[in-house]
């Protein structure tokens, strides 16, 4: 039977790369994002038959409800929900960060993930199978200057994933939190408000993770036998590790 994956944030980066890998492996796709032109292009590239595109904002509960209600019948038995849509905005210290940016990150990375999960989970439980794959981040475990609200939203994703596993005990539904480090996508362009030069500087002289690296990990996670649950998977490029504690001296 053809399997179905719902991918939020399919218009770019990890989500887009995942769409490609799952399509190559014969999956049906429900591809979500706000940029309609990119969704249409994906539909054409990946094949009209096995692709349903849904243009909406995950942070708007009514839009998510409408999208779920309108999934065509043949795509309704969702096997995987890949909660990938998300963003970081700004890198200012907390004392000068933009509150609107914080609100947008909470609305997208936390509330968007809530809505998608709560609406698609009952069907998975009913069918006795399914997989919620959440997109966390190393920023959810490891603090860094300017990571403030973004890292906190990803810490939420980590603990929500663990708690989901508890609630889903005995249902056959799997939950995984993928936690990447430095990866070159549109992430930094978005974080720096479209400043491409500033975004490029983040990756200059490094060998960052690529969207394909992450998509392969997501596909591998999803392809484990049904009795295997990858709880969390943290991955960094070799060029990234940790700093010592910062000590302020008088
Ligand atoms: P991109 O900016 O390339 O992709 C982000 C995707 O999220 C886009 O498809 C965008 O689609 C979608 N999105 C953002 N806001 C909304 C919204 N309100 N409603 C619907 N879709 C939305 O970044 P990445 O691929 O890197 O990011 C994907 C996920 O991975 C994010 O959750 C990010 O936090 C996480 N991550 C990224 C890392 C990195 O270094 N790149 C490392 C660790 C985690 P559209 O604009 O069309 O709506
Ligand atoms: C993205 C990775 O280190 O820029 O989640 O926060 S990082």
What pLDDT sits at residue 48?
74
How many domains does the chain divide into?
A: 1
150 tagged catalytic = yes
- 243 is a domain residue: no
Residue 171 CA to ligand 2 center (angstroms) comes to 33
Residue 30 lies in a domain: yes
CATH number of residue 46's parent domain: 3.40.50.720
Ligand 2 contact via 146 beta carbon (within 6 Å): no
Count of residues in the chain: 250
The contacts of residue 118 (CB under 8 Å, 6+ apart) are none
Q: Residue 34: nearest ligand to its CA?
A: 1
Going by C-beta distance under 8 Å and a sequence separation of 6 or more, which residues neighbour residue 31? 7, 10, 11, 15, 19, 39, 42, 43, 46, 51, 52, 53, 54
Is 139's C-beta closer than 6 angstroms to any atom of ligand 2?
yes
Ligand 2: atom nearest CA of 137 is 5
Between the alpha carbon of residue 118 and those of residues 42, 81, 228, the distances in Å are 26, 11, 23
Which ligand 2 atom is the nearest neighbour of the CA of 150?
Answer: 6
Whether residue 248 is contained in a domain is answered as no
Question: How far apart are the C-alpha atoms of 115 and 111, rounded to whole Å?
Answer: 6
CB half-sphere exposure, 60, CA atoms < 13 A: 9
Burial grade of 154 (CB within 10 A; 0-12, 13-18, 19 or more): buried
Alpha helical stretches, state H, 88-147: 99-105, 113-127
Sign of CA dihedral 160, 161, 162, 163: positive
Domain range for 18 is: 4-233
Indicate whether 249 belongs to any domain: no
Residue 97 lies in a domain: yes
Is 53 inside a domain boundary? yes
The pair of three-digit structure tokens given for residue 223, joined into one six-digit string: 């392809």
Ligand 2, atom 4, lies closest to the CA of 182
Classify residue 250: in a domain, yes or no: no
Q: How far is the CA of 135 from the centre of ligand 1 (A)?
A: 9
pLDDT by residue for the chain (250 residues), tens only, comes to 899 999 999 999 999 999 999 999 999 999 999 999 999 999 999 987 799 999 999 999 999 999 999 999 999 999 999 999 999 999 999 999 999 999 999 999 999 999 999 999 999 999 999 999 999 999 999 999 999 999 999 999 999 999 999 999 999 999 999 999 999 999 999 999 999 999 999 999 999 999 999 999 999 999 999 999 999 999 999 999 999 999 999 9
CA of 138 to the centre of ligand 2 (A): 6
Is the entire prediction scored with pTM above 0.85? yes
Smallest-distance ligand from the CA of 36: 1
Inside any domain, residue 246: no
């Amino acid at each position: 039977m053809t399997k179905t994956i719902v991918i939020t944030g399919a218009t770019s980066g990890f989500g887009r790369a995942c769409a490609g890998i799952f399509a190559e492996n014969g999956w049906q796709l429900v591809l979500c994002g706000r940029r309609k032109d990119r969704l249409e292009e994906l539909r054409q590239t990946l094949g009209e038959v096995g692709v349903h595109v849904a243009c909406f904002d995950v942070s708007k509960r009514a839009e998510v409800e409408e999208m779920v209600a309108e999934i065509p019948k043949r795509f309704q038995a969702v096997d995987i929900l890949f909660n990938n849509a998300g963003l970081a905005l700004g890198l200012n210290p907390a004392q000068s960060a933009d509150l609107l940016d914080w609100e947008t990150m909470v609305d997208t990375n936390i509330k968007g993930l809530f809505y998608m999960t709560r609406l698609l989970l009952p069907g998975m439980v009913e069918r006795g199978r399914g997989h919620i794959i959440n997109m966390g981040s190393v920023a959810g475990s490891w603090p860094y200057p300017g990571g403030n609200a973004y890292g906190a939203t990803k810490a939420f994703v980590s603990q929500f994933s663990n708690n989901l596993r508890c609630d889903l005990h005995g249902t056959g539904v799997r939950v995984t939190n993928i936690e990447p480090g430095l990866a070159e996508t549109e992430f930094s362009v978005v974080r720096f408000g479209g400043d491409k030069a500033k975004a490029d500087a983040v990756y200059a002289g490094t060998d960052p993770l690529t969207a394909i690296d992450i998509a392969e990990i997501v596909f591998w996670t999803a392809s484990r036998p049904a009795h295997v649950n990858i709880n969390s998977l943290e991955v960094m490029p070799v060029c990234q590790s940790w700093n010592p504690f910062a000590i302020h001296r008088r």
